[in-house]
Amino acid sequence: MSSRDADVLVLGGGLVGTAVAYGLARLGQRVLVLDEGDIAHRASRGNFGLVWVQSKGFGVPEYQRWTRRSADDWADFSAELLSETGVASGHERPGGVTICLNEEELERRRKRMEQLHLEAGETQFQYEMLNPAELKKLIPAIGPEVVGASFTPYDGHANPLYTLRALHAALLKHGGRYQPNARVTAVDARPGDFRVSAGGHSYAAPKVVLAAGLGNKELGAMVGLNVPVRPVRGQIIVTERMQPVLPMPTLMIRQTVEGTIMIGESREESGFDDTTSPEIVHTLAQRAVKTFPFLRHARIVRSWGALRVMSTDGLPVYEQSVQFPGAFVCTCHSGVTLAAAHARHYARYVVEGALPAELARFSTGRFNVQAAA
């Protein structure tokens, strides 16, 4: 047996990788995170920061339950990160709303919420459809074009950058190691024995966790895992800091604890182009002003694009390689929402050496079904 550099190598140092790595280190594992350089796509640095339940898992109750479990864990998880590192994630869970600007949107939303409610099973899913007067009581700043909204108490938000910083600090505190500028170029895989070449060095461990976002597609192929993820661009606008005016996040617009207002939720297939476009920024701003007319006076300080890590069906991908046991993949487009579940549960499954039946729905077998002619 060769000398081993770690019990687990985690490939990827974003929200997903560091959440799993921190969870592993907390369970006493020797962990080494190999992270690409700053040329990486870095979805964790560009995302919107919702801890969001009310749009996850239509027709896939397993996803609704997994999301809910993480959202339910988040407050405790955030408190734990604060006490471990002194870094506040900015997490709040005041509930959240999805605001509709016409009857068609509202009807679609009503159906979606009914579906989540029916599919929730024992988890239960309580929601309310609010008319404008009811919504105005929750968020007085809504404009006259708002026709209604869905509300659940499960939704919230956090600062993704502080969360990432806290996860890094907590990982190091528990003896984990972080190696930047270590883009993985090759994996020599054998069952329970992996040699990973990265940044001119080779690292050996009995387990690897693929948590490299869009990089998982290429890395998966090295360990016998089919991970069909593609970039889906989102563009975000952020305003100057303003007095508190939005007491809870909405799907598209949220006010951070610092006071800035973030406007987002666009979706585009733009390959690896993570720039912004005037058309999308215009559309986002227009919808934001219709929703909250006061934003007409707000100064925009910045806008940016970021690439979501999207699987073919939008669900996370969790699996242990059959060909090379010990190799796990952990990828999703909700790195903030699922951070608590990744740190607390996924990490434990990696230590135990098997993913539970409740995650079977997220295995890669689902991608091998042939399309009907």
Distance CA(188)–CA(197), nearest Å, equals 8
Toward another protein, which CB reaches closer, 59 or 140? 140
Q: Binding of another protein at residue 58 (CB under 8 A)?
A: no
Nearest distance from C-beta of residue 106 to another protein, angstroms:
25
Judged by CB under 8 A, which of 1, 86, 133, 299 binds another protein?
299
If the CB atoms of residues 293 and 314 are measured against another protein, the closer one turns out to be 293
Shortest approach of another protein to residue 249 CB, angstroms?
17
Q: Total residues at the site for another protein (CB under 8 A)?
A: 11
Question: Within 172-191, which residues bind another protein (CB under 8 A)?
Answer: none
Instruction: Tell the smallest beta-carbon distance from residue 245 to another protein (Å).
Output: 5
CA nearest neighbour of 168 among 51, 42, 26, 15? 15
- Rule CB under 8 A: choose which of 94, 259, 271, 353 binds another protein: 259
Residues 227-246 that bind another protein (CB under 8 A): 240-243, 245
Member of 122, 275, 297, 357 binding another protein (CB under 8 A):
297
Give the separation between CA 334 and CA 341, rounded to whole angstroms.
11
Judged by beta carbon, residue 301 or residue 360, the one nearer another protein is 301
Q: How far is the CB of 163 from another protein (least distance, A)?
A: 20
What are the residues binding another protein (CB under 8 A)?
141, 240-243, 245, 258-259, 294, 297, 299
